[in-house]
Structure 1
Amino acid sequence: MEDVLTDIPLPSRFFSEDLNNFTAPSPPLPSPFLLLSTPDAKNPLCPSLLIITVSSPSLYIFHHVSSKTLIGTLVLPEIPFSGNFVEPSLRDKSCNIYALNDADNLIYVVSIQYPVPAERSHAVAKLLIGEQIVPERVLILDSVQSRNFRGKLSPDETFAFKLETSLERKDPTLLKGLDYFPSGSVVDGLAPALLGRCQMKKIKGTLCVSWPEFGGSVMSLVKSLLLKDVLPRLECNSDGDSEEECSRLGGVKNHLLDSELYT
């Protein structure tokens, strides 16, 4: 006769993943939203160029552009504001929107200073492009992630590549001399979501990715590309100490991206 106390019990008829069906789902996160200084649902902002900075070098460059005016911010509810400074700082976890003081063109710059989770990328892209902000052209500045690049990358080499929407490729105006991102390599996260949004809304868009992810050499490269093909009158007031600070902050920023975005 079988001993019901000591014999191995029959296997559960549920798979382990099925047991989660009995757990209450997590409450949905609140939607991200824009706060603009002059909100007008009937008349969206229509800049001639929208520059979206994601990489540490591009954030550093536009943080030190003095001729800009804060016009709004994008709020991701799960990102806390605690620890942010009263005045905009590279240490803030923020996403501020600025208007550059350019006499010939209306140019906006979006500085994304916190990691955007992959599942929130499309919601953020939708907010920045095509609804309250309808730009003629979009330039996205991001970094190459070494794990996504086909081939070995040395911290001593410096380069940049681009990707474009079909409309921009027909009539390129930004970064004309830059090579295209090599086949077999991948860009993921917020930047391709922004470029995909441009493609869907039929807006001319360019994504520029640079390597290494931070440091003085790549900062000089990105700045030279901007001066040559995008903003020839760009003035960036900085010093050597600020570049060292950017390198240190860039390391922290990319550590957050590695730990939160791609797990």
Structure 2
Amino acid sequence: MDDILTEVPPPSRFFQDDLNNFAPPSPPLPSLFLLLSNPKPIEPLRPSLLVVAISSPSLHLFHHLSDKTLIGSLILPEIPFSGNHIQPSVYDKSCNIYSIDEDNEQVILVSIQCSVPAERSLLVAKLLLGDKIVPERVLILDSLQSQNFRGRLSTDETLSFKLETSSERKSRDEGYGGSPLLKGLDYYPSGSVVDGLAAALLGSCQMKNIKGALCVSWPEYGTEVISLLSSLLHQNVLLGPTLEFCTESNNGDGYLNRIKDLELYT
């Protein structure tokens, strides 16, 4: 007599994919959109440089950048506005867009102060490099993720690497198109990868033949990384000497408070 407790059950009449047909489909995510205070709404903004800050050190720097003007926001409807301040704050979950005028050239800064899901990265890149903003060059600032790096990383060591589009590298090699975005910086090691919004933005630059560069820095938090990025921005003539980063600590500075908390446990 067969043992019904240990007997292998018969195969299901349905495949696993077929079982999902009985579940209601997930509701579609709401559309993203840009809100810009463009004085000429018919014409796109054409900055000489578009800087997208994703890493915490770069967000801290641009939050304390003097002489910047808020000109718009990138709205992700799935991210609630509750808890945000009336004036831009480092605690807000938002994507603010700023403009600065330096030597009669417009530079647009985008501060990504919220986590952008991987499935939304291409849409965000499409908006920032779409019909409303047409930059000549693009600089992306992100943090290096240890799981994506082929090699050992120490929290006591400050590192930064770059990746470039083919048009940016060609302009540098042929000696035209202005100063290189990240001159003197080593290339990202072979075998290491970049993902998320930074990869989507750099890939869009490559597809649109825009001169673009990505800077990844390590570690994710630390005053040394702030100093490194500040030096890179000034040395590469991205921001003129008249623009200063006011990085003095204060009680409302979430980034520096986070650094102090981490130092207690390291």
TM-score by length of structure 1 reads 0.88
Name the counterpart of 2:255.
246
Name the counterpart of 1:259.
none
String of CA shifts for 1:48-92, please: whole Å, max 9, x gaps. 000000000100001001201000000011011100011100000
Runs (4 or more) in structure 1 with deviation over 6 Å come to: none
Q: Report the aligned-residue RMSD.
A: 2.6
Name the counterpart of 1:261.
none
Contact 1:98 1:108 in 2 (8 A): yes
- The yes-or-no answer on 1:232 pairing with 2:205 is no
Structure 1 CA distance for aligned equivalents of residues 163 and 8 of structure 2: 59
Name the counterpart of 2:118.
118
String of CA shifts for 1:176-215, please: whole Å, max 9, x gaps. 1111100011111000100111111111000010000111
Name the counterpart of 1:206.
213
- Displacement of 1:171 after TM fit? 1.3
3-state DSSP class of the match of 1:106?
strand
Give the count of matched residue pairs: 252
Structure 1 CA distance for aligned equivalents of residues 162 and 206 of structure 2: 15
Structure 1 CA distance for aligned equivalents of residues 101 and 260 of structure 2: 31
- Displacement of 1:18 after TM fit? 2.7
- Displacement of 1:12 after TM fit? 1.3
Structure 2 CA distance for aligned equivalents of residues 241 and 41 of structure 1: 38
Seq. identity, %: 63
Letter of the structure 1 residue corresponding to residue 35 of structure 2: L
- The yes-or-no answer on 1:140 pairing with 2:149 is no
Structure 2 CA distance for aligned equivalents of residues 130 and 199 of structure 1: 14
TM-score by length of structure 2 reads 0.87
- Displacement of 1:37 after TM fit? 1.2
Name the counterpart of 2:18.
18
Letter of the structure 1 residue corresponding to residue 255 of structure 2: C
Q: 1:40 to 1:13 in 2, by over 3 A?
A: farther
Structure 1 CA distance for aligned equivalents of residues 253 and 34 of structure 2: 32
Name the counterpart of 1:192.
199
Name stretches of at least 5 consecutive residues in structure 1 with no aligned partner: 253-263
Letter of the structure 1 residue corresponding to residue 115 of structure 2: P
Q: 1:186 to 1:9 in 2, by over 3 A?
A: closer
Structure 1 CA distance for aligned equivalents of residues 93 and 221 of structure 2: 18
Structure 1 CA distance for aligned equivalents of residues 254 and 141 of structure 2: 20
- Displacement of 1:232 after TM fit? 3.5
3-state DSSP class of the match of 2:105?
coil
- Displacement of 1:159 after TM fit? 1.2
- Displacement of 1:251 after TM fit? 11
String of CA shifts for 1:95-135, please: whole Å, max 9, x gaps. 01000132331100000000000000000000001321000
Name stretches of at least 5 consecutive residues in structure 2 with no aligned partner: 173-179, 262-266
Of 215, 218, 235, the residue aligned with 2:222 is 215
Contact 1:48 1:135 in 2 (8 A): yes
Contact 1:69 1:101 in 2 (8 A): no
Structure 2 CA distance for aligned equivalents of residues 202 and 251 of structure 1: 42
Name the counterpart of 2:94.
94
3-state DSSP class of the match of 1:213?
coil
3-state DSSP class of the match of 1:186?
coil
Name the counterpart of 2:82.
82
Structure 2 CA distance for aligned equivalents of residues 127 and 190 of structure 1: 12
Structure 2 CA distance for aligned equivalents of residues 126 and 250 of structure 1: 33
Q: Give the alignment of 1:42-191 within 5 angstroms.
A: 42-172=42-172, 173-191=180-198
Contact 2:69 2:98 in 1 (8 A): yes
- Displacement of 1:240 after TM fit? 3.5
Letter of the structure 1 residue corresponding to residue 84 of structure 2: N
